[in-house]
Structure 1
Amino acid sequence: MATVRICVCGDEGAGKSSLITSLVKDIFVTTKIQPTLPQITIPPSIGTPDNVTTTIVDTSALPHQRTTLNKEIKKSNVILLVYSDHYSYERVALFWLPHFRSLGVNVPVVLCANKSDKTSNTPTDQVVEDEMLPLMSEFKEIDSCIRTSAREHHNINEVFFLCQKAVTDPIAPLFDSKDSSLKPACVSALQRIFYLCDRDHDGHLSDKEIHDFQIKCFRKPLSDLDLANIKSSIQSQLPDSVTDKGITQSGFLLLNKLFAEKGRHETVWLILRTFHYTDSLSLQSSFLSPKFEVPANSSAELSPAGYRFFVDLFLLHDKDNDVSLSPSELSALFAPTPGIPSQWQENDFPSCTVRNDANYVTLQGWLAQWSMTTFTSYRTTLAYLAYLGFDSSSSSPSSNTSTLKALTITKPRKRPSRGRRRRAAPVSRTVLQAFILGAPNSGKSALLSTFLSPRPSPPSQTYSPSLQPRNAVNTVELPGGKQVTLILSELGDHEPAILDNAAKLAQCDVVLYTYDSGDADSFAYVVRLREKYAHHLDELPLLFVATKADRDRVRQDCETQPEEYAARLGVQKPLHVSVAWESIPELFVQVAEVGLNPGSAYPKGEGEEEGGDGDGLMAYWVAAGAVCVVAAAVVGIWRRMST
């Protein structure tokens, strides 16, 4: 529950105590009132906004009360500054407002021209023009102005309502009264809201979209007459802002500017808060990063609702219907966000996913990219779901839609003990990650490139080492039609740090060890690497891949040849592949299959039989049982012969 503390200031005789008494009693009190009223607290139920408790503090302007006055001013959330005649009006600019500044307070001020019954012959518009606007122009802390009369009980509730709203719905972050314009942060927030409400992204809010917006923000429908009046008000000031298609973005901004100018900034705030904006016009941290924890050995993946959202978003922005997103279409899609995720930029998007011949990301690449982002950094996905409007998919204010519905958590995957590796359970996940390790120039980068574009390509004649980690993500279709998303990761210069990081390796489903079948020194690098990081790498399923198999094969300058080394570990012998062969996609299918069914791809430890400790133990008990059966049979035959 919010609390608003109002400090009522002004010269003696301006009517401060009468205003407070008139609010509490709801009538003008003719009897003598004590000079300074005690503090009063008004609960939310008595004419105040929902969930706001209001504390009103009366003060004295007498010199000997100055210490108490200053103390109360510093404790306040808003100051109600009252004047009632020409002298007290002059003191507003000469004493009161400079005094507030000297105390270093930074709270809104509501300016109140009291005892309006004594100047009833002066129109309010003239008072505003002659007295109030000059002060508001000079002193930006003045939030709003109002004329009141305690005697006639005129605008009594309204003046304190303005004080409450100056705190709960401040005008300062929204509107620059000097320039008579919305502030940049407010404009940016409203532009994002327009984007989210413009469901078909045609640059206009249609009548249906305005209706949905009205229901979402204000929980009541907008009549045809009210809608026509809104359009007329906008069009009178900005003719091109209303067309047959609806209200343009500039018209939407103008409408909110009119709300702010006419003192209806609480309407603007209601819109902003409906779309999860804070008082500082940033999106709520709980909205961008809701509580979502992924248990150990599990991972986050997109749910069907998450995939559907990203498919719809892609199709909506594919304006030329070429099933790809050009740079301009991507720019329009990411308009309501901070831009393309930094993680994507570090990974050189879109070269890390599937593109067409024009280098535009395809729908397959778009979905694969988000699958990888969710796997590696689900908080990034949650934040962008919020930015892009997943939570806004329903116009119903009672909708319980949450960005968490776009994600799901996989079942925990437990690394089997050494004796049970061969019977490791299949992995029930749709996103897998494979690390590619191997000597420099062993073809790791070529495999990543071919993974994204499986058409046979001639081998490169130049070698350019990969210094930074690099990922490639694509979908792989397995026999039977099942599809999985596979992430291939080349570690670059970060390889030692990652291989020593148990948490990083825990994300890995299978390790591809590559070596150049035409380079005699290539496989020795793999052997040394596995020996150096045996404590981590021995816990992961693996595949050996002999690259550049279209060239002459040479004997490896190593104590153990690759086939013998694989046999000693009890795993499949090396696969011989070439990026120039049409069969290269079969490699990625096999990688995915190993990731899903890792049992036979775990390396065998020292002294461990082919079947593993568990299998050996089982064989022991089977043998023991057989011996017992034979022994029992022999005893039975001997007894029969004895009789």
Structure 2
Amino acid sequence: MMRIGVRDSRNSPKPIRIVVVGEKGTGKSSLIMAATTGSLHPNVPPLFPYTNLPAELFPDPVPAIIIDTSSRPEDKREILKEVKEADAIVLTLAFDRPETLDRLSEYWLPLFRELEVRVPIIAAGYKVDYNNEINIDEIMSPIMQEYREVETSIMWSSHEIIYVPWLVKCFNQELTPSQSEELRKFVQVRCPQGVNINRKGITIEGFLFLSTFLVEHGRIRTVWTILRKFGYNNDMRLVDDTIIPYSSFKRKPDQSVELTNKAISFLKNAFEVYDLDSNNNLGPYEMGYLFQAAPESPWNEAPYKNAVEETKDGELSLEAFLSLWQMMALIDPAKSLEYLVYAIFPHDPSSAIRVTRERSIDRKEQKSEREVVQCFVFGPNSSGKSALLNRFIGRSYDDDKNNGSTEERYAVNMVEKSGVIITAKTKKKTLVMKEIRFQEEDGFLLSNEALAACDVAIFLYDSSDESSWKRAIDLLADVATTSKDAGFEFPCLMVASKTDLDSFPMAIQESIRVTQDIGIEAPIPTSSKLGDFDYLFQKILTAAENPHLCIPKIESKRRRSRKLIKRSLTAVSIGTAAFVAGTASFRLYSARNQSS
């Protein structure tokens, strides 16, 4: 079934272009007059100008423009132009002129196919003789069987101005017992398995049969009315706020959305149900059953695609499955509720999510109990951001699946507080890592509200490159002052990447001194090549749980890091020694892991 709903870049409805075409004398202009005025006039112009249809003609508040076309051969080019730009086409014929019916299948419909026009087509037959009984279904059935793009056919006359299918009223009344019985009998005769005799109701097979029957017999409006009643829009998505309770996740910029235990319990059960081969993983085929009532899988495109750890066969473990759901609730609560409804969540959708406490309050209370932590990953180019996200979801550090993508990149996994990727019975939290794109000239490009969503920020730099360090600390100063000015401060950590390489001269002393001066911890040593980021993940979760700590003390944007970097360096402090020992232990630990 074709759809004619279109939207502009601001997501507001664009006017639907309804183009009326047909042979000369088939009532094109008269039909437009009837549609716009509700009456016929003896002096109908040969060609109507563009005409706005009254809003009351439509059950849905969608603006529409009806466009008349000429019947003159010399105007064919203009007709073709209008047809190509149409959102819907009304094709006229006159029942007192059989040749106009023949022209539908001999000229007009083949022409539309040749032009690759893929919009709904409505055949409108003008009935001149009021006394002559005409069965339009019988007349149009052969054509509609051959040309499925003809969605419906209607009949109108000057005596009965029943001219457009969108005038069908929404049936806001219950069926009487006799009507219900007639409907059940109608379905049972044509689809025996479509009726549940014991419960005196229609089964899913019966409902699908009835919907198909309505479509095939031109009752498109009735089908759409049913869909509207269940909250669907023109794009076959659930948008009705009676279905998706948008008010349930209204929040301030520094609040987040998480799944409740009720939702997680439902998803765990769904995972078991759809794990058809009982291998404790869900593959694409099994996932298709979970989302069979949805327009598509929500995870086929960015930011969800390639954001989670997968098996070699592209399957998801329970932890990966739940991680994606938590990530979707975090960054797009409406979408998470929409897909929970598609997955037949049996409770009130608003009970599936909860809004966390404001981070500003968490800082005052010096404690955060968020189960989902969002970490923004900053750093200059070539500092190892992508490699870090790759290793976080079990991929090789040089995996290039996201290489060249301009989309924001996420990676999500479940981690226990000690920083070890979870096992079956360990306490776990969901960690969402978001790589922030960096432009050498413009720096980071995030609004204040976007920064407010950050629970912890880490700043990577290449420990073998002094310029990388300077850009990273400058970036930290920029982010810290911007977030402070906006009132959305969050913990920040410095991360020294590529520690398998030789550090630049005085790297350790300088980095320790600067981080001490701004009141955050010494840089955390990591190496994507050597692996093992347990300590880093532990520090991220610890920082999130203590949102009052590791807040950079930056005086102002004007002074920011330049003052810190230019300070004279002194002897290595106790913090420096600890960093050296940490780096050495890290290398030794990694080397042992590789040799074992």
Q: TM-score, normalised by structure 2?
A: 0.56
The 5-angstrom pairing of residues 410-425 of structure 1 reads: 410-414=356-360, 425=366
* Counterpart for residue 24 of structure 1: none
Contact 1:563 1:574 in 2 (8 A): yes
1:476 maps to which of 392, 415, 422: 415
Looking at structure 2, the residues matched to 257 and 93 of structure 1 have their Cα atoms a distance apart, in angstroms, of 31
Say whether the 8 Å CA contact 1:524–1:557 is kept in structure 2: no
Partner of 1:93: 96
Q: Paired residue for 1:385?
A: 340
Q: Deviations over 1:313-372 (max 9, x none)?
A: 443433222232323333444443332448x6233x442112123232222112211212
Could you tell me which runs of 5 or more consecutive residues in structure 2 were left unpaired when the two chains were aligned: 1-37, 45-52, 59-93, 102-121, 145-149, 195-201, 419-424, 557-596
Q: Are 1:295 and 2:298 an aligned pair? A: no
Q: In the TM superposition, what is the alpha-carbon distance from 1:256 to its structure 2 partner?
A: 3.6
Please state whether the residue corresponding to 2:326 is helix, strand or coil: helix
When residues 565 and 350 of structure 1 are mapped into structure 2, their CA distance, relative to the original with a 3 A threshold, is: same
Residues 228 and 132 (structure 1 numbering): CA distance in 2 closer, same or farther, change over 3 Å? closer
Query: What's 1:600 paired with?
Result: 549
Instruction: Say whether 1:543 aligns with 2:493.
Output: yes
The 1-side partners of 2:143 and 2:531 are apart by 76
Partner of 1:330: 287
Indicate which of 370, 376, 389 corresponds to 1:448: 389
Within 5 Å, give how 1:18-97 maps onto structure 2: 66=42, 93=96
Matched, 1:234 2:177: no
What amino acid does structure 1 have at the position aligned with 2:138? L
Q: Is 1:503–2:449 an aligned residue pair?
A: yes
- Which of 411, 425, 432 pairs up with 2:373? 432
Report the counterpart of residue 67 of structure 2 in structure 1. none
Distance between the aligned counterparts of 1:111 and 1:447, measured in 2? 72
CA distance in 2, matches of 1:221, 1:301: 48
> Max radius of gyration: which structure?
1
Shift of 1:231: 5.5
The separation in 1 between residues aligned to 2:137 and 2:330, in whole angstroms, is: 58
Q: Distance in 2 between matches of 1:481 and 1:304?
A: 16
Taking the aligned partners of 1:341 and 1:411, their CA distance within structure 2 comes to 27
- Match in the other structure for 1:167: 167
How many angstroms apart in 2 are the aligned matches of 1:526 and 1:269?
55
Q: Tell me if the contact between 2:381 and 2:438 (Cα under 8 Å) persists in the aligned partners.
A: no
1:161-220 CA-to-partner distances (Å, cap 9, x unmatched) read x9999833699xxxxxxxxxxxxxxxxxxxxxxxxxxxxxxxxxxxxxxxxxxxxx9899
1:286 to 240, 251, 256: 240
Distance 1:281 1:589, change over 3 A: closer
Give the conservation status (yes or no) of the 8 Å contact 1:170–1:265. Answer: no
Measure, in 1, the Cα distance between the counterparts of 2:495 and 2:555. Answer: 23
Shift of 1:583: 5.1
2:525 to 576, 584, 596: 576
Following the alignment from structure 1 to structure 2, what is the Cα–Cα distance between the partners of residues 258 and 235?
15
Within the candidate set 378, 382, 405, 2:351 is matched to 405
The 8 Å contact of residues 367 and 545 in structure 2, kept in 1 or not, is answered as yes
Aligned AA (1:546):
A
- Say whether the 8 Å CA contact 1:498–1:505 is kept in structure 2: no
Q: How big is each residue's C-alpha offset from its partner over 1:443-471, in whole Å with a ceiling of 9 and x where there is no partner? A: 322221221129xx7x7699x98774421
* C-alpha distance in 2 between matches for 1:219 and 1:483: 55
Shift of 1:472: 0.8
Code of the aligned partner of 1:604: K
Cα shift at 1:492 = 2.9
Structure 2 partner of 1:588:
537
Q: 1:372 aligns with which of 320, 327, 344?
A: 327
Say if 1:472 and 1:489, in contact at 8 Å, map to a contact too. yes
User: How far apart in 2 are the matches of 1:294 and 1:542?
Assistant: 24
* Equivalent residue number for residue 476 of structure 2: 530
Identity %: 23
RMSD of aligned alpha carbons: 5.4
CA distance in 1, matches of 2:443, 2:296: 30
Q: CA deviation at 1:591?
A: 0.5
Counterparts of 2:166 and 2:209 in 1: how far apart (Å)? 22
* Count of residue pairs brought into register by the alignment: 427
Q: Do the aligned partners of residues 450 and 218 (structure 1) sit closer, same or farther apart at CA in structure 2, a change above 3 Å counting?
A: farther
1:491 corresponds to which of 436, 443, 465: 436
**2:302 aligned with 1:346:** yes
Superposed displacement of residue 409, structure 1: 1.3
Q: Which amino acid aligns with 2:412?
A: V
Secondary structure of the residue that 1:427 maps to in structure 2? coil
Which of 316, 333, 339 is residue 361 of structure 1 equivalent to?
Answer: 316
Deviation for aligned residue 1:502: 1.5
Instruction: Provide the rounded CA distance (Å) in 1 between the counterparts of 2:524 and 2:272.
Output: 39
Distance 1:444 1:296 in 2: 25
Query: CA 1:382–1:519 in structure 2 vs 1: closer, same or farther (change >3 Å)?
Result: same
Q: What's the TM-score once normalised by structure 1's chain length?
A: 0.52
Q: 1:340 to 1:565 in 2, by over 3 A?
A: same
Structure 1 stretch displaced more, 577-586 or 434-443: 577-586
Give distance in 2, aligned partners of 1:599 and 1:132: 73
Correspondence for 2:261: 304
Which of the pair is proportionally richer in helix? 1
Q: Which moved more, 1:597-606 or 1:493-502?
A: 493-502
* SS of residue matched to 2:191: helix
Aligned residue for 1:93, secondary structure, equals coil
Residue equivalent to 1:205: none
